[in-house]
Amino acid sequence: MAKQLRVLLIDDSEDDVLLVARELLRAGYGLTYRQVFTADSVRDAFSEPWDFVISDWSMPDGFTGLAAFQIMRGLGHDLPFVIVSGTIGEELAVDSLKAGVHDFMTKGKLARLAPTIERELRETAIRRRQREIDDMVAQQRRALESSERLLSEVLESVPEGVVFVDKDGRLLRRNTAAAELLGVPGTSEEYETWSRGTALYRTEAGGPLALEDRPISRALQGVAVSREHLFTSPGKRLWINISTRPLRTDGAITGAVATVRDLTAERAAQQQLMISDRMASVGMLAAGVAHEINNPLAAVLANLEMAALLCAKQGGPEAADVTEVGEMLSDARSAAERVRHIVKDLKVFSRHEDSFTDSVDLSSMLESTLRMAWNEVRHRATLVKNYGVTPPVRGSESRLGQVFLNLVVNAVQSIPDGNAERNEIRITTGIESPNCAFVDVTDTGAGMSAETLRKLFTPFFTTKPQGEGTGLGLAISHRIITSLGGSIRVSSTVGVGTTFRVVIPVSQAVAHTRVNTQRHKATTRRARILAIDDEPLITSAVRRILASEHDVDIATDATHALELLRVGPAYDLILCDLMMPQVTGMELYERVQAERPDHAERIVFMTGDAFTVAARAFLDEVPNQRIEKPFTTALLRELVAERLK
């Protein structure tokens, strides 16, 4: 079957057109052609589809084959264009080829026409295919650039930080939020230095996270990670939630992506919510706590008043009176000790600790909790304590106290008032596993249905009447325990009672001993001691306790103390209150370090409790010993003897 060929013939000679047509027919082509020879007709002809263009060189009105070629190119066509002429010279032929004409030949020698057509059709097809490929590549490039712009816009619109790395951990991309939040640099080289050196992740317990355990490293090992970390770098200290996932192609890990969200404000709000819930619990028990304080306080005041009256008796107290005064003072001291324990319990629940690194003695913490709740418990149930031997557990005393105060108060409120001898609240401690201790809180109260148990730890869910509960206590308790790596389990039967089991990991930290209470023989060396406290009753008491053995100066403010330190002889020991108006004990310490550095290590801090963040941080940083108020005469003397050895 003849190959079909559509040819545009640009020539003013009918004979020459027929000559070319015959040659093409003889070569076996099925021919369709059109003859034109003016510029306008050429333009019009290119509105039709053609396979090939054959043009004479010279036509009427100065129109040439080169002009026709330029019209074709101007219209955007890429067709094989051959000049066939009897008059073209070599110079014109060369100029035509340089302009882009594909070939030329003379009219008397058309034997090359068919092979030229075959060649040019092949090359045109190749060029067309290349253009299609180029167009496809350009289209893909435009699509890729569009996707790239879209991805960049999406990443920049995300409020969380986003980081992509390749399989070797080199940075591929990060958004502005990651740079602003964590300081992630923009180049792979800077990122490698940053990720290994300045970027520090810390665990909930505050310890540094090894490089291989960091979230992106775990993702590159094929492990998806979503957890909270303390992130620190120069000028940054943030709680973040970091979620990382491995990126895979055909099953192979090709990189990882991390999204990072700043939880610092949320953490602060949660912390405040926990404190508010703790204070709400304490507030709910305020009447009972006041009762527990007022009873021993009444005994203190009554006994001291009677002792004072006997001591003021005309002629002095008789022997029998002296014995009675001693008994009164002993009773007053015992009652004051009860008040001291209650205040200590209140301090436990008022602390704003944000650390889980303390070692907490379960029995001591539970005793504080039960003393706080005792006035509520005793009217509704018998309290049974079954403490097993348990190691110190991980956590903070105030937060664990909050958990168990919630559980004990809930147990109390599940029992109707008025049948204390028939009902029981039992506290049991023991070892759950080699690495965990447990505390069971069991009551003989109303119990809970399966539906209530399903919602028990949901925030704001409560079965209490309106105004008697926020529904946050158990949700907060659950969060505190799970953040420690522990768990809360509950079993309950309606009409029988409920048991909560709290499992807490054993502490790996060594408990910090603030004061060495081992008894020492009093030193025979008489020393110079400075006592500083804004409460005159404290400084007077310190002087009375120590004056028989030492020379004691007192100051009721830090400014006066600094004057004594500047002008007087050296002091062997300085007992300094931590929290004072105007100039605190912390500020005094800094000034002493600057002015008399040899005295800085001689300071022992007296503190009723470090209740500010700055004070807690200060005591954690300085090596100085401290003694907790209220202290006993024996404890203060032992401390002084130890320091002056």
Q: What is the pLDDT of residue 531?
A: 93
Q: Give DSSP secondary structure letters for 428-457.
A: EEEEEETTEEEEEEEE-S----HHHHHHTT
User: How many Cβ atoms are within 10 Å of 136's Cβ, its own excluded?
Assistant: 10
Which tens digit of pLDDT belongs to each residue from 476-509? 788 888 888 899 999 999 989 999 999 999 987 5
Query: Phi, psi at residue 362, to the nearest 5°?
Result: -60, -45
Which tens digit of pLDDT belongs to each residue from 196-235? 765 667 765 556 777 777 888 889 999 998 888 888 777 7
- Kindly state the tokens that stand for 167: 């399989």
Q: How far apart are the first and last CA of the chain?
A: 121
The number of angstroms, rounded, from the C-alpha of 305 to the middle of its chain's C-alpha atoms is 58
Per residue, the 3-state secondary structure of 192-215, as one string, reads: HHHHHHHCEEECCCCCECCHHHCH
Q: What is the DSSP letter of 337?
A: H
The pTM of the full predicted model, rounded to 2 decimals, is: 0.47
E-only strand ranges, 171-275: 171-174, 200-202, 225-233, 236-249, 252-262
Q: In whole angstroms, give the CA distance from residue 36 to residue 13.
A: 10
- Kindly state the tokens that stand for 201: 């992740």
Q: Which long-range contacts (CB under 8 A, 24 or more apart) does 559-565 make?
A: 559/583, 561/530, 561/532, 561/588, 562/588, 562/591, 562/592, 562/595, 564/530, 565/530, 565/592, 565/595, 565/596, 565/599
Domains of the chain: 3-130 (3.40.50.2300), 158-262 (3.30.450.20), 273-505 (3.30.565.10), 528-643 (3.40.50.2300)
Q: In whole angstroms, give the CA distance from residue 297 to residue 306.
A: 14
Query: Please, which residues have CB within 8 angstroms of residue 250's CB and are 6 or more apart in sequence?
Result: none
User: What strands, in cross-sheet order, belong to the sheet with 487-493?
Assistant: 382-386, 424-433, 436-443, 497-505, 487-493
Q: In whole angstroms, give the CA distance from residue 611 to residue 540.
A: 25
Burial class (CB in 10 A: 0-12, 13-18, 19+), 340: middle
Q: What is the pLDDT of residue 38?
A: 94
Q: What is the pLDDT of residue 615?
A: 79
Q: Is 590 in contact with 558 (CB distance < 8 Å)?
A: no
Average pLDDT, the chain: 82
Q: Which residues of the chain have pLDDT under 50?
A: 354-356, 467, 510-523
Q: What is the pLDDT of residue 124?
A: 86
